[in-house]
Amino acid sequence: MGESDKLMTAKEAIKKFVKDGCSITLANFATSEPFALTHEVIRQQKRNLYLIKSSSFMASDQLLAAGCLRKILTSWHLRMSPTSYYSPIDKLLKEKKIEIEDYSNWTVAARTLAGAWGLPFFPVKGNSLLVSDIGKIRSFEGENKLKVIENPFNPGEKVVLVPPVNPDVALIHAQRADENGNVQLWGPLGDTVYAALASKVIIASVEEIVDEETVRRSPFLTVIPEFRVNALVHEEWGAHPMECLGYYDMDEPFLVQWYALLTRKMMESWMDEWIFSVENRTEYIEHYIERFGIEKLNKLRAKKYMSAPVNLGSTFERDMEKWGIGWETFEQPISEMVEWEVEE
Amino acid sequence: MKVEYSVTEMMIVAASRLLEDGRTVFTGTGMPILAALLAKSTRAPRISIIYEAGGMDPAPPPTIPISVGDTMTTHRAIMAASMDYTMCFAQAGYGEYAFLGAAQIDPWGNINTTVIGAHDNPRVRLPGSGGANDFGSLCWKTIVIMRQDRRKFVERLDFLTTPGYLWGPGVRERVGLPSGTGPWRVVTQLGIYGFGEDKRMELLRIYPGVGIEEIRANSGFDIRIPERVEVEPEPTREELKALRKLDPYGVVI
């Protein structure tokens, strides 16, 4: 394996590509979250970021709580039911420190799809946004949240269009990649592919760096090709406390801790302990082991459940001779061949 | 011997009985997932549960998915797809049931999962639409499962996230939603509701031990109550056993 110029630490990748005021997306849907990368964004105290994310979980909540975000375009942002728990989104909205633009899951995905395909807009079936308050109440997108046109193929029919969106940077955590940056991810794919491909820069962290041969023997698992990946970060436990299929499960007790914090102060001390007091993901995991023991971590490790093998083989040759026919068979013009078959 | 069960168990069992075998179900996070899984592991083994993140009809999983993007949604699935792939079924009319939760519902089955209070000055910011607006708009029969009280069954929503019948018969069609789709059943801790010809909510079945006055006391709008109301049977031993096997740690129930 040669030295790859894409391979870098989370610290280097975030420093190089995430600028104050830029737009970011977390390209994992609700499967894994790129915590190694988002914690680095928080550690570097990036400000005024614009988060574009269909369904959002703990990583988004932490970016909010840490004061990194100014705007969110989302369809869903997890909060726990009891309102006694501290919820940064409530507080920041009330204080007018963030703005939120609501969509549905599919319409956020449709915007990234248009972004990834280079389309001017994407039509949304059923006018579902138009008749709901999602369409009526508009925040920072204003007029451009959605537009209605007449279907040129069926005059009289109204069609809702959403505009493309192209985040400056996508952060994603996946199972593995080769050194060139061919990212492989498996499990439910959500809107991962379009969220990533719509973005101008892609930073991927992976559990494992494999050799190129492994990728070439399992090409159907690749979700982002090397030429779109700008930075590759090798980060074991990079999605903890979310799961990474085939590597580890969700750490539910640890994850719930975050959502059960009752005050802003408690949230700040959580971030101090788990984000600011550690240098990187390795130290985070070391701290976890110190606090809870290696057994607890080992309990999360995935058991083996291998996919059924498939044959990707062929004869790997195109030898006409072995079938007793040669290229001369096809030398006649097609029209004559047809005639000859008819005579037969 | 009397079978002991919780209110949540009654809700999930009642909801699971609504699903006809062999149909496709798009399901939201929480109780809807559990109700769909219960149906599949009891009386409707051939329903296809589709999780919008791409999990297509997984075998009953060793642990219940805590969200529609949980990796257990592709464990022993027939396909591990993506959101654009699953959404095409809803868009093209192959989504038969949408199974949703809600924070507020109005008499026409419009639901709010976005905010209590004003959008830019919330009392409580709720998670938002997720896929609810998409599925509630496009699937043939939407089933809503939620607890009811006067703050949740409201005449006027704080925010309309997912359109039901909007404000009467024919309105969905008029505004461009697919004809013949819409809310079909609402399952609460007291009973099961449907929608009459005027597209307003009406009581269909009541749970054992629940009185009509409780239905009225726990709604902020008038619910039409027919002269004769059937009682939904209690959960059977088999249903409860299957349900508790699905959620042994009580994550949902």
Global pTM value = 0.93
Query: Given this model, what pLDDT does residue B190 score?
Result: 98
Residues forming a β-bridge with A124: A160
- Which ranges of A48-203 does DSSP label H, i.e. alpha helix? 58-65, 88-94, 105-117, 133-136, 192-198
Cα–Cα distances (Å) from A222 to A195, A205, B55, in that order, read 15, 14, 18
Instruction: Answer yes or no: is pLDDT of B244 > 80.
Output: yes
Domain ranges of chain B: 7-246
- The domain B7-246 having CATH identifier 3.40.1080.10: the answer here is yes
Query: Given this model, what pLDDT does residue B251 score?
Result: 78
Amino acid at A98: I
Contact (Cβ atoms closer than 8 angstroms) between residue A246 and residue A271:
no
Note whether A251 and A136 are same-domain residues: no
A322 confidence band (pLDDT: 50, 70, 90): low
What phi and psi, each to the nearest 5 degrees, are found at residue B199?
Answer: 65, 20
Note whether A155 and A276 are same-domain residues: no
Query: Given this model, what pLDDT does residue A343 score?
Result: 52
A318 confidence band (pLDDT: 50, 70, 90): confident
Q: Could you read off the pLDDT of A184-214 as tens digits, one per residue?
A: 999 999 999 999 999 999 999 999 999 999 9
Inside any domain, residue A188: yes
Query: Given this model, what pLDDT does residue A31 score?
Result: 87
Residues 6+ apart with CB under 8 A from A327: A320
Inside any domain, residue A340: no
Query: Given this model, what pLDDT does residue A335 score?
Result: 58
Cα–Cα distances (Å) from B194 to A22, A163, B98, B197, B200, in that order, read 48, 37, 15, 10, 8
Beta carbons of B163 and A104 less than 8 Å apart: no
More confident site: A2 or B201: B201
Chain B residues within an 8 Å CB radius of A173: none
Chain B: residue whose CA lies nearest to A92: B121
B248 confidence band (pLDDT: 50, 70, 90): confident
- Which ranges of A246-280 does DSSP label H, i.e. alpha helix? 252-259, 264-271
Beta carbons of A190 and B54 less than 8 Å apart: yes
Number of C-beta neighbours around residue A317 at 10 A: 6
Distance CA B91, CA B131 (A): 12
Note whether A178 and A215 are same-domain residues: yes
Contact (Cβ atoms closer than 8 angstroms) between residue B189 and residue B196:
no
Distance CA B124, CA B127 (A): 10
Distance CA A185, CA A206 (A): 9
Chain B: give the shortest CA distance to residue A328, in Å: 45
User: Quick one: tokens of B37?
Assistant: 């899984």
Chain A residues within an 8 Å CB radius of B126: 79
Distance CA B158, CA B154 (A): 9
Note whether A224 and A192 are same-domain residues: yes
Inside any domain, residue A336: no
ipTM value, please give it.
0.92
Query: Given this model, what pLDDT does residue A85 score?
Result: 82
CA neighbor of A178 nearest in space, from A228, A122, A226: A226
Inside any domain, residue A338: no
Instruction: Answer yes or no: is pLDDT of A324 > 70.
Output: no
CATH label of the domain that carries residue A159: 3.30.30
Note whether A31 and A139 are same-domain residues: no
CATH label of the domain that carries residue A247: 3.40.1080.10
Inside any domain, residue A343: no
Q: Could you read off the pLDDT of B4-50 as tens digits, one per residue?
A: 999 999 999 999 999 999 999 999 888 999 999 999 999 999 999 99
Note whether A95 and A59 are same-domain residues: yes
Distance CA B221, CA B107 (A): 7
In the predicted model, what is the mean pLDDT of residues B58-65? 84
Looking at every residue in chain A, the average pLDDT score rounds to: 92
Distance CA A23, CA A3 (A): 30
Note whether A274 and A135 are same-domain residues: no
Cα–Cα distances (Å) from B129 to A74, A133, B74, B101, B239, in that order, read 9, 11, 23, 10, 31
- Nearest beta carbon to residue A186 from set B80, B87, B119: B80
CA neighbor of A250 nearest in space, from A187, A197, A190: A187
**Selected residue of A125, A150, A193, A207 to mutate for chain B interface (largest B Cβ count, 10 A):** A125
- Nearest beta carbon to residue A75 from set B53, B75, B128: B128
Note whether A155 and A284 are same-domain residues: no
What is the bridge-based pairing of β-strands B201-206 and B191-195?
A: antiparallel
CA A108 to chain centre: 13
A1 confidence band (pLDDT: 50, 70, 90): very low
Distance CA B78, CA B132 (A): 23
More confident site: B198 or A332: B198
Place of tokens 């069926």: A154
Q: Could you read off the pLDDT of B70-116 as tens digits, one per residue?
A: 999 999 999 999 999 999 999 999 999 999 999 999 999 999 999 99
In the predicted model, what is the mean pLDDT of residues A84-97? 90
Note whether A103 and A8 are same-domain residues: yes
Instruction: Answer yes or no: is pLDDT of A340 > 80.
Output: no
Instruction: Answer yes or no: is pLDDT of A334 > 80.
Output: no
Inside any domain, residue A216: yes
Distance CA A35, CA A262 (A): 22
In the predicted model, what is the mean pLDDT of residues A264-276? 97
DSSP helix/strand/coil, A300: helix
Distance CA A101, CA A78 (A): 15
Q: What percent of chain A has a predicted confidence (pLDDT) above 70?
A: 91
Q: Is B83 an 8 Å CB contact of chain A?
A: yes
Query: Given this model, what pLDDT does residue A279 score?
Result: 98
Q: Could you read off the pLDDT of A131-186 as tens digits, one per residue?
A: 899 999 999 999 999 999 999 999 999 999 999 999 999 999 999 999 999 999 99
Find the domain containing A33 and state its range: 1-118+165-323
Instruction: Answer yes or no: is pLDDT of A283 > 90.
Output: yes
Note whether A44 and A61 are same-domain residues: yes
In the predicted model, what is the mean pLDDT of residues B140-159? 98
Instruction: Answer yes or no: is pLDDT of A327 > 80.
Output: no
Inside any domain, residue A18: yes
Note whether A85 and A158 are same-domain residues: no
In the predicted model, what is the mean pLDDT of residues B151-167? 97
Total number of domains constituting chain A: 2
Note whether A179 and A128 are same-domain residues: no
Beta carbons of A190 and B160 less than 8 Å apart: no
Q: Is B134 an 8 Å CB contact of chain A?
A: yes
Q: Could you read off the pLDDT of B118-142 as tens digits, one per residue?
A: 998 899 999 999 999 999 999 999 9
Inside any domain, residue A330: no
Of these residues, B9, B52, B234, B239, which one is catalytic? B52
- Nearest beta carbon to residue B125 from set A79, A125, A191: A79
Number of C-beta neighbours around residue B173 at 10 A: 13
CB-neighbour burial class of residue A113 (10 A; exposed 0-12, middle 13-18, buried 19+): buried
Chain B: give the shortest CA distance to residue A129, in Å: 8
Instruction: Answer yes or no: is pLDDT of B246 > 50.
Output: yes
